[in-house]
Amino acid sequence: MSEVRNIDAPTPPVLPKRPVERGAPLAKELAIVAAAVVAWNGGLVLLSLWRPLWWAALPGDFALLVIAAERIGRCVSLAWRRVYERSLALGFPVLALIAWQLVVDAGILNPLWFPQPTRIAAALWDVTVHYDRFSETSLLGRPWLIPSRFESDGWSGVWTLFAESHVWATLSRVGIGFVIGAIPGILLGVIMGVNRTVRLMLDTTLSAIYVLPKIAIFPIVMLVFADPFGEGPKIAVVALSVFFLMAINTMAGVRDIDPVFLMAGRNYGARGYALLWHVILPAALPVIFAGLRLALGTALIVIISIEFLRAKQGVGYMTFYYWEVLNPEKMYAGLVVVMILGVILTYGLQWLQRRLMPWER
Amino acid sequence: MPEPKDGGSSLDLRRPKIEARDVWKIYDTASGPVTAVENFTLDVADGEFVCIVGPSGCGKSTFLRMLAGLDTHSAGDILIRRGADPRKPLNSVVFQEYAVFPWKTVVENVAFGLQMRGVGKSERLETAHYWLERVGLRKFAHYYPSQISGGMKQRVSIVRALANDPEVLLMDEPLGALDAQTRIVLQDELLRIWEETRKTVVYITHSLDEAILLGDRVILMTAHPGRLLTTFPIGIARPRTVETLNTPEFAELRGAIWHQLAREVSRAMEMQT
């Protein structure tokens, strides 16, 4: 066997592993930026201006930080690109928290209203592990007690742990309200998108109700239910706000379907239910999911406000309760929990979207 | 009995597959009625490949949609004759914008018409795979349309229609959105497949070359309103391939049609003024 070599094939040039550096070397430029940071903050401190002008000093530091990060970014190789971008996205909030900590530690901001992140974290730990005897609640329902309670009281013992959880109360209200609002909302939206008469009759009315802040109809909803202080009205208001948003959004999505898909569906024999299932719903799905994202945010806003107003349990209740008893660390801890819930639910929705729309990758 | 309009074709027009008689399409707009298709009559024989050529906006797509039953006609009659098998769909359309469903895989798209007619899963997938094999897309059966090229999408759209095994195939500028090379490859494939299936086809295009290459008959339409200008029988022997484009016979025929076309067009323009 002789080796066959194609002499016409050009050899590609070897590309450099990292981008070619232009200008001064990295270390030198970073040293210049570091010097600028020292000069900026030191100068302000020397002039006794840092304390009164801290709100201007920090943006200046931020600008210098951006310059340094961009300089580093210019010589990051392709393999490390993702790591670099991740560290920018995660590094900045960490730095912001450190700055917050330092500003409060230095006594520039009042720790009563802006407790240090470390104290908020400690408070978050505190509300997680401790049971509040006064309101008979805990943040997560003390999941580490599940094995012992199950042994002593069985499933009902586990349920009492769930029943004391703020997070569980909020999540179940949002979850149930979301589902019983979204499904009829999507159905009505499809009907309005397909049927001109229904659309003409309902569009104006729905738009008017849509812009009404749902918290404003909470008192009426309370009256409708047999137990005005129970779970019913809270779930109903979440469901209502999700319902109107989804109806309007889905209608827009259905109206926006490229008519050629509808023609193709009809030409290949899809009628009625088959047309809905095989053409209209999948074609409107991107817009429906965009609507669900919006609806999720709205549902969280609504449930937290209702828990502020009238609830004996829930993350919103917890947040407001600790404000009333002047325990700002724990109030902030409640806000952190709301943010975490929002992020988790959004990720859940994105997971569902990837499952239901595998063609959009 | 209607008189067959062209004498050049050897196809039997005494009992045409498609009969469109004095078809009008008039749109009611706010500024009064607008005629899109005027008094259009067309008979297509069983197994005939008819190409309709015309400038954009001449109403040829509207006419095709009326044939497909996707649009109503304002006056006249449209009839597609059923063959022996009453379960066959009357027509299947290949759309210019592909209209391949992005949410279905390639094989699900091809099997769609059969699925809607209630054909069992294994049978319809077998048919779909058979047709994908014939256009060289077997490997892409489980891809989504967003993952394949425009030429492949249009192949999918074409075999979706063929797998549905309709009485007539209606094609609305199916190659209009493709680049020149892909277009030539697909013209060749169309010729090869048609040679084997001999379906009745109405093919809309704005390319005279494509119409002469593919068709048994070329029908020219005028614009505003869309009406039938003239009909040319294409006598070039089959089977044809894209090589046919290079034959003297083709060049001669195209020259003759251009010559007549220029006269017809200028006459039509004089009539308008």
For B176-184, the CB contacts below 8 A with 24+ separation are B176/B96, B176/B205, B176/B206, B177/B96, B177/B97, B177/B98, B177/B150, B178/B150, B178/B151, B178/B154, B179/B150, B182/B149, B182/B150, B182/B151, B183/B210, B184/B242
Mean pLDDT of A255-270: 92
Inter-chain contact A260–B92, Cβ cutoff 8 Å?
no
Q: How far is B99 from chain A (nearest CA, A)?
A: 6
Residue-wise pLDDT tens digits, A151-198: 888 888 778 887 888 888 899 999 999 999 999 999 999 999 999 999
Instruction: Select from B65, B104, B113 the Cβ nearest to the Cβ of A269.
Output: B113
Instruction: Select from A267, A274, A283 the Cβ nearest to the Cβ of B70.
Output: A267
Nearest CA in chain B to A264: B99
Mutation target for A interface from B92, B101, B104, B140: give the one with most A CBs within 10 A: B101
Instruction: Select from B68, B97, B145 the Cβ nearest to the Cβ of A267.
Output: B68
Q: Is a pLDDT exceeding 60 seen at residue A3?
A: no
Inter-chain contact B116–A268, Cβ cutoff 8 Å?
yes
* Per-residue pLDDT, B6: 44
Which residues, at least 6 apart from A271, have a Cβ–Cβ distance to it below 8 Å?
none
Q: How far is B66 from chain A (nearest CA, A)?
A: 12
* Per-residue pLDDT, B9: 45
Report helix, strand or coil for A77. Answer: coil
Instruction: Select from B89, B91, B102 the Cβ nearest to the Cβ of A359.
Output: B102
The two tokens of residue A154 are 């069985």
Query: d(Cα B156, Cα B159) in Å, to the nearest integer?
Result: 5
Q: Is a pLDDT exceeding 50 seen at residue B4?
A: no
Task: For B43-95, give the secondary structure using H, E and C.
Answer: EECCCCEEEEECCCCCCHHHHHHHHHCCCCCCEEEEEECCCCCCCCCCEEEEE
The two tokens of residue B138 are 């077997």
Q: What angle do CA B247, B60, B229 make, to 5 degrees?
A: 65
Question: With contacts defined as CB-CB under 8 Å, which chain B residues touch A263?
Answer: 65, 70, 93, 95, 99
Q: Is a pLDDT exceeding 80 seen at residue B19?
A: yes
Mean pLDDT is lowest, of A18-22, A77-81, B11-15, for A18-22
Residue-wise pLDDT tens digits, B80-121: 888 888 888 888 999 987 789 999 999 999 999 999 988 899
Residue-wise pLDDT tens digits, B172-207: 988 888 888 888 988 998 999 998 888 899 999 988
DSSP string, A305-336: HHHHHS-SSSHHHHHHHHHHTT-HHHHHHHHH
Mean pLDDT of A285-291: 94
* Per-residue pLDDT, B144: 94
Q: Is a pLDDT exceeding 70 seen at residue B214?
A: yes
* Per-residue pLDDT, A17: 66
Q: Is a pLDDT exceeding 80 seen at residue A262?
A: yes
Q: Report the share of chain A in percent with pLDDT over 90.
A: 43
Q: How confident is the model at residue A63 (pLDDT cuts 50, 70, 90)?
A: very high
Mean pLDDT of A230-256: 92
* Per-residue pLDDT, A309: 84
Question: With contacts defined as CB-CB under 8 Å, which chain A residues touch B65?
Answer: 263
Report helix, strand or coil for B239. Answer: coil
pTM of the full predicted structure?
A: 0.81
Query: d(Cα B102, Cα A285) in Å, to the nearest integer?
Result: 12
Q: How many CB pairs under 8 A join A and B?
A: 54
Residue-wise pLDDT tens digits, A293-347: 999 999 999 999 999 888 888 889 988 988 888 888 889 999 999 999 999 999 9
Q: Is a pLDDT exceeding 90 seen at residue A215?
A: no
Q: Is a pLDDT exceeding 90 seen at residue B263?
A: no
Bridge partners (DSSP) of residue B20 are B42, B78
